[in-house]
Structure 1
Amino acid sequence: MHVEAFRTYCLAKKGVTEHFPFDEKTLVFKVMDKMFALAPLERVPAQVNLKCDPERAIALREELEDVVLPGYHMNKKHWNTVLLAQQPQSFYEELIDHSYDLVVSKLTKKARAILAEIK
């Protein structure tokens, strides 16, 4: 998956916005103002950080140790760094969906109601 395809997929999700809160090189995706994905634009090879269930994070790192790493500059229990372009696009889309769903599940009841109203 190319970084631009990653960006397009993230932005297609309901309630997602993109920001550069840290610097002009790290693109951050948020749902209802909560971060679920980061893309350091100048990193080679291309990689992204995605939130992940802790048990699943360990399993992914063990199974795909050259693709899924502990989250770079993140809480390594809850975030993975995922190298792009080595797996099918559906693999990355599923990890993005998982990250997005985890964040949405932790939103307040009010925030989830507002998100549900977004078309």
Structure 2
Amino acid sequence: MDGETLHEVAARTAMGLPAVAETQPFGEGAFVYKVVGKMFVMTSELRGVPIVNLKCAPPHGAALVRDHDEITPGWHMNKQHWITLSPGDGIDETLVEDLVGNAYDLVVAKLPQAKRPVDPARRAQFD
């Protein structure tokens, strides 16, 4: 997957989820996707290369980093809880969509129940 498509798929998937807002708190060129004010995805560039940072459960993130050359510990983020996707042949649309959905679910699960836009365990019914 090329960098432009990587950004497009991540943004489209994030914005298709309930109660998501797109913000630019870090300036032009870095888009942050938040659910109820909590960040779960960021698209930006690193040395001119499009990247996507995603929240990820530590064991899942470690396995992804191990198995994909295009996935590294989160750039400028907590390396245990975030991963970074870069363009490459090992990344496809389904993987990006799944990782964005997983990042969203992780953040929603930590919200107080009254603030959750959807129950993460039941979100798959709405996809």
Q: Shorter-chain TM-score: what band? A: 0.7 to 0.9
Change (3 A) 1:22 1:58: same
**3-state SS in 2 of match to 1:74:** coil
Q: Which amino acid in the other structure matches residue 100 of structure 2?
A: I
Query: Quick one: which amino acid aligns to residue 48 of structure 1?
Result: V
Extract structure 1 runs of 4+ deviating beyond 3 A.
41-44
Alpha carbons of structure 1 residues 8 and 25: separation in structure 2 relative to 1, 3 Å:
same
Partner of 2:63: 59
- Tell me if the contact between 1:25 and 1:42 (Cα under 8 Å) persists in the aligned partners: no
> Aligned to 2:97, which of 93, 100, 109?
93
Asked if residue 71 in structure 1 is aligned to residue 49 in structure 2, the reply is no
Contact 1:48 1:84 in 2 (8 A): no
User: Which residue of 50, 68, 71 maps to 2:54?
Assistant: 50
> When the two structures are superposed, what TM-score results if normalisation uses the length of structure 1?
0.87
What secondary structure is seen at the aligned counterpart in 1 of 2:32?
strand
Q: Summarize the alignment of residues 1-119 of structure 1 with structure 2, pairs less than 5 Å apart.
A: 2=5, 3-41=7-45, 44-64=48-68, 66-86=69-89, 87-112=91-116, 115-116=117-118
Instruction: Give the alignment's Cα RMSD to 1 decimal.
Output: 1.6
Q: Aligned pair in 2 of structure 1 residues 48, 67: CA closer, same or farther (>3 Å)?
A: same
Give aligned-pair identity as a percent: 37
Structure 1: tracts of 5 or more residues without a match: none
